[in-house]
Chains A and B, each alone.
Chain A
Amino acid sequence: MSMTITEKILAAHADLDRVEPGDLINARVDIALANDITAPISIDRFEKSGATKVFDKNAVILVPDHFVPNKDINSAMQAKVLREFAKAQDLTYFYDAGEMGVEHALLPEQGLVLPGDLIIGADSHTCTYGGLGAFATGMGSTDLAAAMVTGEVWLKVPETMKFVFTGKLNPYVEGKDLILYTIGDIGVDGALYRSMEFTGSVIDNLGMAGRLTMANMAIEAGAKNGIFIPDEATEEYVSGRAKREYKFYTSDEDAEYTLVKEYDVSNIEPQIAFPHLPENSRGISDVGEIAIDQVVIGSCTNGRIEDMRSAASILKGKKIAKGLRLIIIPATPWIYRTAMDEGLFKIFLDAGAIISPPTCGPCLGGHMGILAKGEKAVATTNRNFVGRMGHPESEVYLASPVVAAASAVLGKIGGPDQVM
């Protein structure tokens, strides 16, 4: 019987020959992760359960990345809870201080999440790792706590929607544009409870950064997971860094999909998602005149080295609009150092940007770039909900790094074509 890649990974982790959508399974977890906002609740639940040791000290990963470097006393107290727990449990992978990066950029980079894995995280953007051909999904702190104890999680096998991207990409169209376009088409609950499988000739040539960006935003369509079939590009990415064995799964030719969507990407231009939902995406030519106060380039969605290079390619030799705040956040220490070594920091600083240490920071309105009442920002982040980056009457427009960089130069929302 045929299965999708998602069904195969779930079956393998439940020691079953096959699973079907709707099946309730108990599955083994390869990695369980949490951050400084979600882990304190998990740790509390873990301790109250009577458990004394996590199921595997190599498989429970804690990354304090949201409100760090600590923005206030309460945040410092939360990070301290993680630090003490990591020490008491002797966790192998606890990323603190100068080793800390935005979790969903850091874990793939460090070879800790791998193709064929089943990963759960107390963070909704855990679905990012589907870019590697893993099953990865976000959950709450209590689910995470249960997995910390048992190494298992209950899951309902999702139906799968297949998205096929063909045609020739237009200039300056990246993975971010493809996923914003897709969410615009199906809506913020268009894939509710389902798996999104991304495929087609465009995906084959997209590269790992673009795939991780697309998988990252599967949750913005309500999906349980987003996933890509691993290939040579995946092998090239993981082979040098994998900390464990990994396995490539693929969907069978005759696997069943609840829906197949085909997109000719030659019709897709750079996208902007208007406030206050990621589904409000439209082509850059339909934006009109929207003056902006701030631009943020970073996050688990678009804070990778490729994103830094994309932004630099636009900003090189240019100045950003007077008075505008351009905040660039390399997502991990390695990305930070590499961007510096490649001379990107000089380009950013010459343009007038602020370079932040790795943090989720402004993406969720934490710190390092909060918006005032009435202010507007273009951000390469993943959500533009009411109050997401600050005041409830501020606005966030989601875009790719090249569009964000171009908008910073223009002082209003605009595409790279307008500045290059």
Chain B
Amino acid sequence: MKIQGKIWKFGDDVDTDLIIPARYLNTSEPAELAKHCMEDADPDFVNKSSAGDIIIGGKNFGCGSSREHAPIAIKAAGISCVIAKSFARIFYRNAFNMGLPILECDETDRFESGNSLSVDFDTGEIILIEEDAKFITKPIPPFMQELVKSGGLMNHIAKQI
């Protein structure tokens, strides 16, 4: 699968309170959570971004809480994928479990907000459209690929029920 989208760039250690502040966690309704996605990092993010856009982070994206509401909010806000140098471990699991594509790439410093990226999930190849520059992402571990193929963790364990 290939996608193309505009970049919204954030820094290192984007925590789950920035992605979805706890004051909105009195619901787990995706559409409600989406309204406040990235609000404390950029109050206007939801209005500025469009469906298919891509979030870029530095190191340790998604650190902090275990709240699955974070990847849910990002996905429901229409973001097509998150690319960061590294992800906090709970966010990483959550993203795969609920079906938000995420990729690790060491060179996210090269990307700027407003740039456009083309992402090929099958090959892990990213192209920075403006510069026609190619970047390689870290391969998704085999077990995670299996989860994706099964359609998420709950489908993966369905055979055990």
Q: Measuring CB to CB, which residues of chain A are less than 8 angstroms from any residue of chain B?
A: 24, 37-38, 40-41, 44-45, 48-51, 66-67, 71-72, 74-75, 78, 121-124, 126, 138-143, 145-146, 149-150, 154, 188-189, 192-193, 219, 222, 224, 277, 364-366, 383, 385-388, 392
Contact = CB atoms under 8 A, between A and B. Distances in A.
B97 A385 contact: no
B142 to A, nearest CB: 9
A143 B97 contact: yes
29 contacts: A37-B25, A38-B67, A44-B28, A48-B154, A49-B154, A49-B157, A122-B68, A123-B66, A124-B90, A138-B90, A139-B90, A139-B93, A141-B68, A142-B94, A142-B152, A146-B157, A149-B160, A149-B161, A150-B157, A192-B86, A192-B88, A192-B89, A219-B64, A222-B63, A364-B65, A365-B21, A385-B17, A386-B15, A386-B17
Contacts of B43: 392
B26 A78 contact: yes
A41 B66 contact: no
Nearest to B23: A365
A44 B17 CA distance: 23
A73 B48 CA distance: 31
Interface of B: 13, 15, 17-18, 21-23, 25-28, 39-41, 43, 59-60, 63-69, 72, 86, 88-90, 93-94, 97-98, 143, 152-154, 157-158, 160-161
A409 B17 CA distance: 30
A149 B153 CA distance: 12
Contacts of B64: 124, 219, 383, 385
B143 A154 contact: yes
B157 A189 contact: no
B86 A189 contact: yes
A37 B17 CA distance: 14
A224 B88 CA distance: 10
B94 to A, nearest CB: 4
Which of B27, B41, B97 is packed against the most chain A CB atoms within 10 Å?
Answer: B97
Contacts of B27: 74, 78
Contacts of B68: 38, 41, 122, 140-142
Contacts of A44: 28
B60 A222 contact: yes
Given A143-B153, A193-B89, 12 more contacts: A41-B72, A50-B158, A66-B25, A126-B66, A140-B97, A142-B94, A142-B152, A146-B153, A149-B160, A222-B60, A364-B65, A365-B21
A138 B158 contact: no
A319 B113 CA distance: 51
Contact of A277 (B13, B98, B143): B13
A124 B88 CA distance: 11
B28 A383 contact: no
B63 A51 contact: no
Contacts of A145: 154
B63 A122 contact: no
Contact of A140 (B23, B66, B158): B66
Nearest to B89: A193
B153 A71 contact: no
A140 B93 contact: yes
Contacts of A139: 66, 90, 93-94
A124 B66 CA distance: 5
Nearest to A52: B161
Q: Which has the most chain B C-beta neighbours within 10 Å: A48, A72, A140, A149?
A: A140
B71 to A, nearest CB: 8
Max count, chain A CB within 10 A of own CB: residue among B13, B41, B90, B160: B90
Contacts of B18: 385-387
Contact of A188 (B60, B72, B94, B153): B60
Contacts of B63: 188-189, 222
Most chain-A CB neighbours within 10 Å: which of B21, B25, B66, B86?
Answer: B66
A150 B154 CA distance: 11
B22 A49 contact: no
Contacts of B153: 142-143, 146
